[in-house]
């Protein structure tokens, strides 16, 4: 239990964190990677390079300080992080490393203002948070062992490889020991442990894109090319360039809190999936689950892609649309090419806007929305839904990359 005085001291630091949070987390990561290079493989260096990880951590620290006396407001964030940590294999012994470097970064940032009272308060607060995460993550590891039959990383064989678009390759995975797979929960991801040239493995999360209960897990990996803000993806490019059928890769059990919520027709009569690019992967698994459900509800998928070349799972989704009377599929291309126009491969052109949502969703009172895609698309769609009086509790979303929040985009 955190002492009242500690809570007061922590909350008094909120203005400083709001102003200098990213500077703090930048100092923290620089120090930790220098002093404890053994933890570096747990972090995606592309996200470090872009600053996304620093911003995400700054937001998390600020939220913790602001709501330290309201733990119920932190429950969702704690679960998201705990699931991510469990997917990567974060263990109890890693937490003192983070704590030591975080307190040192606070001292450096605050300078003479870093009184013993402030440092001791943050040490107590971190110790409390550490205990919460360790306990939750141990429960996840225990669940993995009981439900999936393993924890940590296990060898899987690539039994099939196929191109799902010009930028996305899908790998079908079966356990190398031929043990049957426990069904995942639609929306979950696994972590691939990829060996690097320097002998140190790196870790990457990939959503499971197939129907739960299949004899395999399917991951669908987008080739990440270099941009102004990020280098090319080390693992995604290696998977595209080197993986062949018969190869062995190590993966963790399914994790993740962005999952399909339980529903029935008394409370939910319409489920809308909005996917941007490779964001279709967890939503496709959810789509299969909803359409397999005997208590049918109306289902709509809005799939936003650049053009037909990058349109993933087109044939699979078309087959579902032909099979299920309660499923509406709308493909919107932002930049269709001549072949797309000649063959009428898309339903509309442009970005997702209010007119499209109004056309496809006539009533939002009992509708659940699931969003996944690039952050600008998520922000746009979230704003549109909130402006149409959709409650935040009806909107579920996942960032591909460092966790963020769309709540600050909500109109007042």
| DSSP letters spanning 292-356 | H-SS--EEEEEEEESSGGG-TTHHHHHHHHHH-TTEEEEEEESS--HHHHHHT--SEESS--HHH
**Position 403 confidence tier, pLDDT thresholds 50, 70, 90:** low
Q: How far apart are CA 392 and CA 370, in angstroms?
A: 11
Domain CATH for 229: 2.40.30.10
Instruction: Considering only residues 100 and 58, tell me which one the structure prediction assigns the higher pLDDT.
Output: 100
Domain CATH for 352: 3.40.50.80
The answer on pLDDT for 406 being more than 90 is no
Question: Do 129 and 136 touch, CB atoms closer than 8 A?
Answer: no
237 lies in the same domain as 367: no
75 falls within a domain: yes
Output the pTM of the full model.
0.92
Show which of 99, 127, 148 is a domain's final residue: 148
| pLDDT per residue as tens digits for the range 342-360 | 888 899 999 999 999 999 9
128 lies in the same domain as 39: yes
215 lies in the same domain as 332: no
81 lies in the same domain as 207: no
246 lies in the same domain as 287: no
Say whether 409 is catalytic: no
334 falls within a domain: yes
60 falls within a domain: yes
Domain CATH for 49: 1.10.490.10
Residue 34: give the domain boundaries.
4-148
245 lies in the same domain as 283: no
283 lies in the same domain as 399: yes
Which residue among the candidates 29, 95, 126, 382 is catalytic per the annotation? Answer: 95
Using a 10 angstrom Cβ sphere, with 0-12 exposed, 13-18 middle and 19 or more buried, the burial of residue 322 is exposed
pLDDT more than 70, % of the chain: 95
| pLDDT per residue as tens digits for the range 371-393 | 999 989 999 999 999 999 999 99
260 falls within a domain: no
The answer on pLDDT for 320 being more than 90 is yes
Sheet holding 154-163, edge to edge: 202-207, 189-194, 248-251, 154-163, 168-175, 217-222
35 lies in the same domain as 80: yes
Show which of 117, 148, 179 is a domain's final residue: 148
**Position 44 confidence tier, pLDDT thresholds 50, 70, 90:** confident
175 lies in the same domain as 124: no
15 lies in the same domain as 34: yes
303 falls within a domain: yes
128 lies in the same domain as 241: no
Which residue among the candidates 29, 64, 126, 137 is catalytic per the annotation? Answer: 137
Q: Report, as an integer, the average pLDDT of 154-171.
A: 96
168 falls within a domain: yes
Q: How many domains does the chain contain in total?
A: 3
Say whether 206 is catalytic: no
195 lies in the same domain as 226: yes
Angle between helices 52-66 and 4-12 (to 10 degrees): 140
262 falls within a domain: no
User: CA triplet 161, 202, 214: central angle to 5 degrees?
Assistant: 35
257 falls within a domain: no
Show which of 111, 132, 148 is a domain's final residue: 148
- The pLDDT of residue 198: 72
């Amino acid at each position: 239990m955190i002492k009242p005085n500690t809570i007061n001291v922590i909350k008094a630091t909120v203005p400083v964190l709001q102003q200098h949070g990213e500077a703090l987390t930048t100092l923290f990561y620089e120090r930790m990677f220098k002093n404890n290079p053994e933890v570096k493989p747990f972090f995606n260096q592309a996200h470090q390079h872009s600053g996304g990880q620093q911003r995400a951590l700054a937001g998390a620290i600020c939220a913790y300080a602001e709501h330290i006396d309201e733990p119920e407001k932190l429950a969702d964030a704690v679960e998201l992080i705990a699931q991510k940590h469990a997917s990567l294999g974060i263990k109890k012994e890693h937490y003192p490393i983070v704590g030591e470097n975080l307190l040192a970064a606070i001292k450096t940032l605050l300078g003479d203002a870093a009184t013993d009272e402030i440092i001791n308060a943050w040490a107590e607060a971190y110790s409390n948070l550490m205990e919460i995460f360790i306990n939750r993550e141990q429960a996840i590891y225990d669940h993995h062992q009981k439900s999936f039959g393993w924890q940590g990383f296990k060898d899987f064989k690539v039994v099939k490889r196929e191109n799902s678009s010009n930028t996305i390759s899908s790998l079908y995975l079966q356990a190398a020991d031929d043990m049957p797979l426990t069904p995942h929960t639609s929306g979950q991801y696994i972590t691939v442990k990829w060996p690097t040239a320097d002998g140190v493995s790196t870790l990457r999360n990939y959503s499971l894109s197939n129907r739960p209960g299949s004899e395999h897990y399917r991951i669908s990996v987008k080739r990440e090319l270099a941009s102004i803000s990020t280098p090319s993806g080390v693992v995604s490019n290696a998977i595209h360039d080197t993986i062949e059928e018969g190869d062995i890769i190590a993966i963790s059990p399914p994790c993740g809190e962005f999952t399909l919520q339980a529903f029935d027709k008394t409370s939910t009569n319409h489920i809308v999936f909005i996917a941007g690019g490779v964001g279709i992967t967890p939503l496709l698994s959810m789509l299969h689950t909803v359409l397999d459900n005997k208590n049918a509800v109306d289902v709509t998928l809005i799939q936003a892609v650049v053009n037909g070349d990058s349109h993933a799972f087109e044939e699979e989704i078309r087959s579902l649309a032909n099979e299920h009377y309660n499923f509406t599929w709308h493909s919107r291309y932002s930049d269709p090419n001549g072949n797309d126009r000649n063959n009428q491969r898309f339903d509309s052109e442009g970005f997702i806007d209010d007119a499209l949502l109004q056309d496809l969703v006539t009533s939002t009172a009992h509708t659940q929305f699931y969003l996944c895609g690039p952050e600008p698309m998520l922000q746009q769609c979230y704003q549109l839904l909130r402006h149409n009086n959709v409650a935040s509790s009806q909107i579920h979303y996942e960032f591909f990359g460092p966790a963020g929040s769309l709540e600050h985009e909500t109109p007042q």
